[in-house]
């Protein structure tokens, strides 16, 4: 092919400014005087007309206006051009390069010294240095550099995998760019550790997966590194039981560090994200929709942070995974955080199998409208060390015949020394249309072992059965909760066997508080300062009164100066009294009854002090009834006649 440098669309003039009539243009091969033909057409097929100068040279004659008779097209390899007057005197010489002499090296992709290596660039900013375009292009490695098309039709699987492998083979790993487009794949992309992937936005760059998983990490030896995945979409186009992003390893087979997913959009997956034994990883600002399970942490997952994600079921994904938004598995899920997420439309929003110092905070969870199903926002089971659930919104919209429990502390394997804090949350039954609904339930009617749970400063609205229900509780504290549901008979219900202490303190309840009477009586349950059905009850631990009675059988009535008891804690009562016997000649053994605690297998009473005006110096409590008898210094019984008109002051301590 020939080319025409724009320089040679010219008009010749003499030094006096006259038109270059009869000027001559010689065209030579570079650095010679050997003619090299120039052409009148771009294809290089029609030669210019050359005229002999009579001394062995050939030239192109300019017309009377000093113009070439036709366009001047030059072939590759370059020319030396010489312009003379009509007498052969040289006016000027020039070296001319054909266009292809420039374009062909620039278009050369086989020689690293050509192509973009021939183009120089320099930043205009202060301190910018010159470098080649080749160097600058190496800053950004694209899947299109390896043949990916991104048109949604071409199968880009091999090209993308080749790109991943190539970047992984670099000495420092690197980033792989997915320019805007729809990338069809038909088998999983196997990620290489240290290769980060990024697109141009979750809607602009989409990896469309046809009957295959999306991005899969299968190594079990990655440690103390990081890889970032951000700003693209992953969509399951066909197939079932597929996973969008999967890090797979057996529990404890190897921990894999530093996977960071940002601003990725997942659609139509059975499970969108599966992290197996991942440590120090992040899932943030991701949009997950039309999925059966949004995120699952399994194996020995440690120090992972799920933050500010939208996880929405919307009819579910392709497959049979559990209808659960987020799952923390049951194998030492340690020090993980779920925060600031919106989890919507699942039968169960969050399942915590074996949380080990985990935190769930600042989330909004809305269980699905599923008629006849058992719905919930969050369940937790065997807690290790500490579980914190705070500042969340737990909401349900149950359909007809549904059973909705917003948060359920399920039975764990054994009673443990771990603790759970549930604080500053809002519990809400949005429809009050189900068969039953409970805000917070700990254990079940036939299970136990969920212990050391501290529930305070929560708000409950709209529940049908109870706001809070404790079954077979062990060391549970309910404090300063606002129970506003109007439908239940009891806002708070404590039922089943109780392992002390269970504290129900300073709660505000629209309805009553129901406690197991025997455990309340023996002090295993402490109830104090609550508002029930709009009525505030004073704490029963301070200044409560009791009525001393005649337990001798004579039917006497004492004059009571004071009779109080203080319930120090779930294991101790202190009972005091100051009474005077009526005038009587009755010979029955003097006995005082009516005390607020009964000595039994749990409590033993002992008179710790007694002051008497009758000569009585000792008292002994009955082993079966809330009574005590009076004796003199010789150990003889004092009768009612002995005590006639006399006054005693006493203190009895019941302890367990």
Residues 434/398, Cβ–Cβ less than 8 Å: yes
518, containing H or E segment: helix 517-521
Non-local (6+) Cβ contacts of 419 within 8 A are 383, 386, 387, 452, 453, 454
Mean pLDDT of the chain: 86
Residue 252 predicted with pLDDT over 50: no
Q: Which fold has domain 140-334?
A: Pectate Lyase C-like (2.160.20)
What's the confidence (pLDDT) of residue 538? 55
Residues 576/651, Cβ–Cβ less than 8 Å: yes
Give the integer Cα–Cα distance in Å for 35 and 50: 10
Give the integer Cα–Cα distance in Å for 91 and 378: 93
What's the confidence (pLDDT) of residue 238? 96
Decide: residue 600, CB within 10 A, 0-12 exposed, 13-18 middle, 19+ buried.
middle
Residues 626/563, Cβ–Cβ less than 8 Å: no
For 3-22, how does the pLDDT look when each residue is reduced to its tens digit (9 = 90+)? Answer: 444 345 566 666 666 676 78
Average pLDDT for residues 589-601, to the nearest whole number?
76
Give the integer Cα–Cα distance in Å for 454 and 474: 11
Helix, strand, coil % in the chain, rounded to nearest 5? 5, 45, 45
Which range, of 436-450, 574-588, 624-638, averages the lowest pLDDT? 624-638
**Per-residue exposure over 518-545, b if at least 16 CB sit within 10 Å of its own CB, e if not:** ebbbbbbbbbbbbbbeeeeeeebbeeee
Average pLDDT for residues 638-650, to the nearest whole number?
89
What's the confidence (pLDDT) of residue 618? 60
pLDDT band at 361 (very low <50, low <70, confident <90, very high): very high
What's the confidence (pLDDT) of residue 1? 32
Tokens 């006497």 map to which residue? 556
What's the confidence (pLDDT) of residue 46? 94
**Per-residue exposure over 131-142, b if at least 16 CB sit within 10 Å of its own CB, e if not:** ebebeebeeebe
Residue 656 predicted with pLDDT over 80: no
Residue 372 predicted with pLDDT over 80: no
What's the confidence (pLDDT) of residue 244? 97
What's the confidence (pLDDT) of residue 377? 96
Three-state SS at 305: strand
Q: How many residues does the chain have?
A: 656
Average pLDDT for residues 491-506, to the nearest whole number?
91
Peptide bond into 562 cis (omega under 30): no
For 30-39, how does the pLDDT look when each residue is reduced to its tens digit (9 = 90+)? Answer: 999 999 999 9
Residue 402 predicted with pLDDT over 90: no
Domain limits of the chain? 1-107, 108-137, 140-334, 347-537, 544-655
Residue 568 predicted with pLDDT over 50: yes
What's the confidence (pLDDT) of residue 6? 37
Question: In CATH, what number does 1-107 get?
Answer: 2.170.14
Rg of the chain over all Cα atoms, to the nearest angstrom: 46
What's the confidence (pLDDT) of residue 12? 63
* Cross-strand bridge partners of residue 211: none
pLDDT band at 517 (very low <50, low <70, confident <90, very high): confident
What's the confidence (pLDDT) of residue 602? 56
Give the integer Cα–Cα distance in Å for 106 and 119: 8
Residue 309 predicted with pLDDT over 80: yes
Tokens 């087979």 map to which residue? 253
Question: pTM value?
Answer: 0.75
What's the confidence (pLDDT) of residue 4? 40
Region of 529 on the Ramachandran plot (φ > 0 left; ψ -120 to 50 alpha; else beta):
left
Closest CA to 296 of 26, 496, 266: 266
More confident residue, 264 or 329: 264
pLDDT band at 51 (very low <50, low <70, confident <90, very high): very high
- ∠ CA 21-24-26, nearest 5°, is 160
Give the integer Cα–Cα distance in Å for 364 and 430: 13
Average pLDDT for residues 329-338, to the nearest whole number?
88
Give the integer Cα–Cα distance in Å for 576 and 648: 11
What's the confidence (pLDDT) of residue 166? 92
Three-state SS at 95: strand
pLDDT band at 542 (very low <50, low <70, confident <90, very high): very low
What's the confidence (pLDDT) of residue 400? 73
Closest CA to 475 of 507, 442, 506: 442
What's the confidence (pLDDT) of residue 183? 98
Closest CA to 541 of 572, 567, 507: 567
Decide: residue 127, CB within 10 A, 0-12 exposed, 13-18 middle, 19+ buried.
exposed
Residues 575/654, Cβ–Cβ less than 8 Å: yes
Residues 37/47, Cβ–Cβ less than 8 Å: yes
pLDDT band at 597 (very low <50, low <70, confident <90, very high): low
- The segment with the largest mean pLDDT, out of 288-292, 296-300, 351-355, 540-544, is 288-292
Residues 308/279, Cβ–Cβ less than 8 Å: no
Residue 351 predicted with pLDDT over 90: yes
> How far apart, in Å, are the Cα atoms of 198 and each of 53, 77, 144, 202, 248?
67, 44, 13, 10, 21
Give the integer Cα–Cα distance in Å for 262 and 231: 7
């Amino acid at each position: 092919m020939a080319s025409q440098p724009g320089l040679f669309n010219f008009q010749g003039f003499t030094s006096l400014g006259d038109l270059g009539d009869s000027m001559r243009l010689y065209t030579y091969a570079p650095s010679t005087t050997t003619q090299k033909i120039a052409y009148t057409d771009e294809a290089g097929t029609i030669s210019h007309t050359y005229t002999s100068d009579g001394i062995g040279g050939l030239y192109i004659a300019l017309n009377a206006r000093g113009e070439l008779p036709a366009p001047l097209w030059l072939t590759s390899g370059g020319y030396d051009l010489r312009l003379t007057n009509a007498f052969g005197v040289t006016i000027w010489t020039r070296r001319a390069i054909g266009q292809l002499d420039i374009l062909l090296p620039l278009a050369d992709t086989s020689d690293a010294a050509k192509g973009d290596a021939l183009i120089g660039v320099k930043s205009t900013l202060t301190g910018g240095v010159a470098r080649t375009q080749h160097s600058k292009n190496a800053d950004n490695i694209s899947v299109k550099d390896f043949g990916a098309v991104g048109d949604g039709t071409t199968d880009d699987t091999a090209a993308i995998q080749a790109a991943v492998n190539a970047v992984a083979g670099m000495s420092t790993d690197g980033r792989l760019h997915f320019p805007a487009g729809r990338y069809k794949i038909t088998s999983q992309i196997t990620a290489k550790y240290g290769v980060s992937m990024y697109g141009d936005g979750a809607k602009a760059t989409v990896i469309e997966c046809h009957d295959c998983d999306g991005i899969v990490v299968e190594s079990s030896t990655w440690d103390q590194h990081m890889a970032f995945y951000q700003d693209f979409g992953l969509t399951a186009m066909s197939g079932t039981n597929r996973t969008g992003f999967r890090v797979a390893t057996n529990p404890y087979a190897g921990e894999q560090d530093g996977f960071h997913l940002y601003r990725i959009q997942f659609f139509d997956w059975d499970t969108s994200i599966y992290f197996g034994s991942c440590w120090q990883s992040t899932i943030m600002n991701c949009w997950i929709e039309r999925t059966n399970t949004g995120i699952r942490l399994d194996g020995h997952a440690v120090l992972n942070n799920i933050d500010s994600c939208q996880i929405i079921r919307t009819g579910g994904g392709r497959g049979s995974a559990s209808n659960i938004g987020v799952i923390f598995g049951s194998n030492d899920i340690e020090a993980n955080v779920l925060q600031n997420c919106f989890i919507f439309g699942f039968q169960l929003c969050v399942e915590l199998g074996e949380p080990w110092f985990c935190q769930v905070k600042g989330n909004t969870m809305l269980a699905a409208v599923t008629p006849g199903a058992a719905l919930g926002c969050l369940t937790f089971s065997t807690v290790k060390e500490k579980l914190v659930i705070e500042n969340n919104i737990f909401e349900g919209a149950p359909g007809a015949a549904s059973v909705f429990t917003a948060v359920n502390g399920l039975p764990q394997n054994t009673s443990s020394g771990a603790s759970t804090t549930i604080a500053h949350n809002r519990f809400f039954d949005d429809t009050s249309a189900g068969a039953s609904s409970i805000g917070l339930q700990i254990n079940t009617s036939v299970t136990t072992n969920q212990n050391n749970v501290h529930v305070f400063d929560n708000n409950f609205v709209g529940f049908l059965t109870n706001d809070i229900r404790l079954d077979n509780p062990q060391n549970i504290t309910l404090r300063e909760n606002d129970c506003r549901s109007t439908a239940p008979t009891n806002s708070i219900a404590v039922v089943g066997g109780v392992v002390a202490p269970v504290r129900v303190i300073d709660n505000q309840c629209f309805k009553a508080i129901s406690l197991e009477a025997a455990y309340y009586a023996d002090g295993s349950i402490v109830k104090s300062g609550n508002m029930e059905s709009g009525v505030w009850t004073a704490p029963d631990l301070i200044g409560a009164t009791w009525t001393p009675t005649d337990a001798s059988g004579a039917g006497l009535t004492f004059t009571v100066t004071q009779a109080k008891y203080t319930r120090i804690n779930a294991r101790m009562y202190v009972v005091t009294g100051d009474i005077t016997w009526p005038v009587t000649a009755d010979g029955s053994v003097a006995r005082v009854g009516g005390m607020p605690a009964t000595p039994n297998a749990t409590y033993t009473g002992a008179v710790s002090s007694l002051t008497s005006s009758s000569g009585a110096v000792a008292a002994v409590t009955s082993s079966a009834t809330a009574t005590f008898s009076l004796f003199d210094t010789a150990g003889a019984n004092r009768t009612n006649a002995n005590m006639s008109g006399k006054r005693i002051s006493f203190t009895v301590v019941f302890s367990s």
